[in-house]
Amino acid sequence: MLIEVLCVCRRPPRWVSEVTADYARRLPRDLRLEFTFVAPAGDSLSSAERKRDEARRLGKRIAADSAVIALDGGGREVDSAGLAGWLENWRAEHARLALLIGGADGLDADLLATARGRWSLSRLTLPHLLVQVLVAEQLYRAWSILDGHPYHRA
Q: What is the pLDDT of residue 44?
A: 94
From edge to edge, which strands make up the β-sheet containing 2-8?
32-38, 2-8, 96-101, 66-76, 117-119
* Percent with pLDDT over 70 in the chain: 100
**What's the pLDDT at 51?**
96
DSSP state of 95: S
pTM: 0.95
Q: pLDDT digits over 29-64, tens only?
A: 999 999 999 999 988 999 999 999 999 999 999 999
Q: Spell out a b/e string for 97-110, using b for 16 or more CB atoms within 10 Å of the CB, else e.
A: bbbbbbbbbbbbee
pLDDT along the chain (154 residues), means of 10: 97 96 97 97 94 96 97 95 97 97 95 96 93 98 96 85
Domain definitions of the chain by residue range: 2-147
What pLDDT sits at residue 153? 84
* Predicted local distance difference test score (pLDDT) of residue 133: 98
At the topology level, CATH places domain 2-147 in: Alpha/beta knot (3.40.1280)
Q: Are 28 and 2 in contact (CB under 8 A)?
A: no
The partner residues of 2 in beta bridges, in order of sequence, read 32, 96
pLDDT at residue 154 in the model: 76
Q: Output 145-149 pairs: Cβ under 8 A, ≥24 positions apart.
A: 145/80, 145/81, 145/84, 146/84, 146/87, 146/88, 147/28
State how far the Cα of 112 lies from the Cα of 11, in Å rounded to an integer. Answer: 23
What integer pLDDT is reported at residue 137 of this predicted model? 98
> Which residues, listed in sequence order, are joined to residue 67 by a DSSP beta bridge?
97
- Is 116 in a helix, a strand, or coil? coil
pLDDT at res. 50 = 96
